[in-house]
Amino acid sequence: MLRNCQLLTRKTDKFDMCLFTNNSGFGPPVENFNHGVLSNTRNWFFTNQFMLEVIFHNRMKNYKCLTNDSSLASAIFVPFYAGLDLRRHLWGHKTSVRDASGFELVKWLSEKPEWKKMWGMDHFLVSGRISRDFRRKSDKNSEWGSKFRFLPESRNMSMLSIESSLNNIDNNDFAIPYPTSFHPSTEIEVSQWQDRMKRQNRPYLFSFAGARRSRNKGSLRDIIINQCLESSNNSCKFMDCSSSGSSNCDNPLNVMQVFQKSVFCLQPPGDSYTRRSIFDSILAGCIPVFFHPGSAYSQYLWHLTENHTKYSVFISGKSLRDRKSRFIINETLVGVSKEEQEAMREEVIRLIPRIVYADNTIRLETGFEDAFDLAVRGILDKIETSTRVIKEKEKAMD
């Protein structure tokens, strides 16, 4: 798929997807550091949010605990680029074409001796798309996605994706962070970035980066944008990411510049419950404001703080839509004391190492865990628990 990366590009895409497969999935480096917004290192890239499986695979190649003896392995990583494969066939193809690679994969896996050890329950894969894209419920060509996660063999495996299924009946979908544009090489670079975010002057009380949904007038996003534009004393900065907008939201320099100047960053659901912007805001030390619990609180359980009030603000999207309630974002955020702001910002900045994917060409210092490390540790713990349960059941049967 990487050799034939031109097949990943749609006619409606702004950029050739081949750009983003470079540098082990990080994409082309950001060259412009003139605004003092990004750190003066070569760790910033134009990273596409759908490149997680490429980034993770290349990082796994340098993982210190790999073994060539599968009988010794605690887990089996399956480097199947499910998201990129689906992207090639998602539009204008029959469901049979969308499902073909998934069928081929599980057939191949199930014939391997490693499979029979736990029938795939010690296998895991990574997807750069949301879990829902692989849970198509019918074979109608008009239906979205593939049915890969409904295949019996696939259901035995665990999948790490940028957004897990909220109806995870198999308990084997796990959300891990969207990739940001910052890929540090050392712990010192992360610490220096954290220090910069602590010292930032933040003239905007809150900001929103996104575009209106033209087909969904009166939506939550429309309400949020309108309240931002109408906020008193220009307390909100709106970064218009529409095709007609003046901002290039694909450039991390522009996004970081706005988020670094903001105390709070609004994070309503996008095309799904989650958004990459959540992690961009954390990276900028900007306190995320959520409008649905599925945007973060029921996701990223290995990476974010369990007590969500420590690092974020929640405003009910339902209350915001209710015109009778006159729920105003500006008034809510003004009501957060300076002491509470400082405590939340400190927690947000503390989370930064946990949500970035470090440079995969080096091994980080002992004790520093990034998003990859936490994901691998989480999946190993899950598989260990499953193994113990199976052994206990077998023992009880004997």
Instruction: Using alpha carbons, select from 122, 104, 102 the residue that is nearest to residue 113.
Output: 122
3-class SS at 377? Answer: helix
The pLDDT of 232-255, averaged and rounded, is 85
Question: Which tokens is 120 given?
Answer: 């795939």
d(CA 308, CA 287): 11
Question: What is the pLDDT at residue 367?
Answer: 63
Q: Which residues contact 169 (CB under 8 A, 6 or more apart)?
A: none
pLDDT digits (tens, 9 = 90+) for 259-279: 999 999 999 998 899 999 999
pLDDT digits (tens, 9 = 90+) for 26-83: 999 998 666 678 887 789 999 999 999 999 999 999 898 999 898 899 999 999 999 9
pLDDT digits (tens, 9 = 90+) for 104-137: 999 999 999 999 989 999 999 999 999 999 999 9
d(CA 284, CA 239): 15
The whole model's pTM is what? 0.94
Question: Which tokens is 40 given?
Answer: 């003066």
Three-state DSSP string of 284-302: CCCEEEECCHHHCCCCCCC
Question: What is the pLDDT at residue 27?
Answer: 95
pLDDT digits (tens, 9 = 90+) for 150-173: 999 999 999 999 999 887 666 899
Give Cα 184 distance to the centre of its chain.
17
207 DSSP β-pair partners: 237, 265
**What DSSP letter does each residue of 113-150 carry, written as one string?**
TTHHHHTTTTEEEEESS-GGGG---S--TTS-S--GGG
Question: What is the pLDDT at residue 81?
Answer: 97
Residue 359 has φ and ψ, to the nearest 5°, of -55, 125
pLDDT digits (tens, 9 = 90+) for 168-191: 666 899 999 999 999 998 889 999
Question: What is the pLDDT at residue 232?
Answer: 80
pLDDT digits (tens, 9 = 90+) for 287-328: 999 999 999 999 999 999 999 999 999 999 988 887 655 678
Q: Which residues contact 194 (CB under 8 A, 6 or more apart)?
A: 285, 349, 350, 352, 353
Question: Which tokens is 385 given?
Answer: 């628990």
30 secondary structure, DSSP code = P
Confidence of residue 387 (pLDDT cuts 50, 70, 90): confident
| Percentage of the chain modeled with pLDDT above 90 | 72
Q: Which residues contact 233 (CB under 8 A, 6 or more apart)?
A: none
Cβ contact 47:127 at 8 Å: no
Confidence of residue 233 (pLDDT cuts 50, 70, 90): confident
d(CA 227, CA 236): 9
Q: How many CB atoms are located within 10 Å of the residue 226 CB?
A: 13
